[in-house]
């Protein structure tokens, strides 16, 4: 989903609602805008605004929670990679081939998840062939003593955990934001801005204030959609943890 285009569409809808409200105010009979009518409209708008605020907060919380979860998984993956490389290093020269395969797989994973070229989408699906090569290399190690046997067991557990984390990121790639809920939210916002525009006095200051409010709401929608795509867009999960680990492996 193009987050910028979606936010611009929301902003255009809200601006259209403001302009429609201005036009509607001019054609409404005066008895429809009496003090009692205004109070009733304000109560109705207050109810819709309360529901909108609740749903908007729910969407922001959901998107932020999903973003933080994936970010934590990336940090955990980086920590496991560093520790697995340390275990293979402690194992001895016999694990040199396994370490080389592991370093190559990590480099490819970083390149897929954070492509350097602009406009290239992130590829979360792991390279199963490279992953299988690393796991097989670890399994093929032949321990000569209890220390190497324990190191192999721990390395196998970490390699399995890394595969599970990568698969979990792929499974979580689906959008966590409900599109029908987002559409309903935008429709409520249109109703609110339409009602505010009908009740507000016809002057440039009020119009400007409503436009700024529409821009702020569109920005909130943009934030929600960006957080829901943590490996793309402007608010993406930083690659620094994985890059730091990769630079450590290359030493």
| Cα gap 49→2, rounded to integer Å | 27
The model's confidence at residue 72, banded by pLDDT at 50, 70 and 90, is very high
Is the distance from CB of 201 to CB of 207 less than 8 angstroms? no
Is the distance from CB of 137 to CB of 98 less than 8 angstroms? yes
The model's confidence at residue 26, banded by pLDDT at 50, 70 and 90, is confident
Tens-digit pLDDT profile for residues 116-125: 655 567 788 8
User: What's phi and psi for 236, nearest 5 deg?
Assistant: -95, 160
State yes or no: pLDDT of 10 exceeds 90. yes
Read off the tokens for 138.
């670890």
The end-to-end CA distance of the chain, in Å, is 40
The model's confidence at residue 217, banded by pLDDT at 50, 70 and 90, is very high
State yes or no: pLDDT of 250 exceeds 90. no
Percentage, residues of the chain above pLDDT 70? 97
The model's confidence at residue 172, banded by pLDDT at 50, 70 and 90, is confident
The stretch 110-119 carries a mean pLDDT of 75
163 or 175, which is more confident: 163
Q: Which residues have a Cβ under 8 Å from the Cβ of 22 and sit 6 or more positions away?
A: 197, 202, 207
116 or 90, which is more confident: 90
State yes or no: pLDDT of 64 exceeds 60. yes
Give the pLDDT of residue 1: 61
State yes or no: pLDDT of 193 exceeds 80. yes
**Please, is 24 exposed, middle or buried when counting C-beta atoms within 10 Å of its C-beta (0-12, 13-18, 19+)?**
middle
| Cα gap 111→243, rounded to integer Å | 10
Residue 132 parent element (H or E): helix 128-139
Read off the tokens for 100.
């080389």
| DSSP assigned state of 140 | T
| Cα gap 154→83, rounded to integer Å | 10
Give the pLDDT of residue 12: 94
Q: How many residues in total does the chain contain?
A: 251
Distance of CA 47 to the CA centre of its chain: 30
| Cα gap 64→118, rounded to integer Å | 25
- CA 44, 48, 53: angle at the middle one, nearest 5? 145
Place of tokens 């450590």: 248
């Amino acid at each position: 989903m193009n987050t910028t285009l979606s936010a611009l569409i929301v902003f255009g809808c809200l601006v259209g609602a403001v302009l429609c409200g201005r036009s509607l105010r001019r054609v409404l009979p005066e008895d429809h805008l009496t003090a009692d009518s205004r109070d009733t409209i304000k109560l109705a708008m207050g109810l819709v605004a309360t529901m909108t605020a609740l749903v908007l907060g729910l969407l922001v919380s959901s998107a932020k929670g999903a973003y933080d979860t994936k970010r934590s998984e990336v940090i955990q993956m980086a920590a496991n990679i560093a520790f697995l490389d340390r275990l293979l290093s402690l194992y001895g020269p016999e694990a040199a081939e396994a370490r080389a395969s592991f370093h190559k797989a990590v480099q490819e994973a970083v390149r897929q998840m954070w492509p350097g070229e602009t406009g290239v989408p992130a590829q979360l699906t792991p390279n199963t062939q490279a992953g299988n090569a690393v796991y097989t290399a670890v399994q093929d190690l032949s321990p000569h003593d209890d220390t190497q046997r324990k190191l192999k067991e721990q390395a196998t557990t970490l390699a399995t955990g890394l595969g599970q984390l990568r698969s979990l990121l792929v499974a979580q790639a689906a959008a966590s934001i409900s599109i029908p809920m987002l559409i309903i939210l935008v429709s409520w916002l249109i109703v609110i801005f339409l009602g505010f525009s009908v009740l507000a006095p016809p002057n440039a200051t009020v119009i400007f204030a409503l436009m700024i409010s529409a821009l702020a709401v569109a920005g909130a929608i943009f934030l929600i959609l960006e957080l829901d795509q943590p490996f793309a867009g402007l608010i993406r999960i930083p690659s620094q943890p994985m890059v730091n680990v990769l630079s450590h492996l290359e030493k």
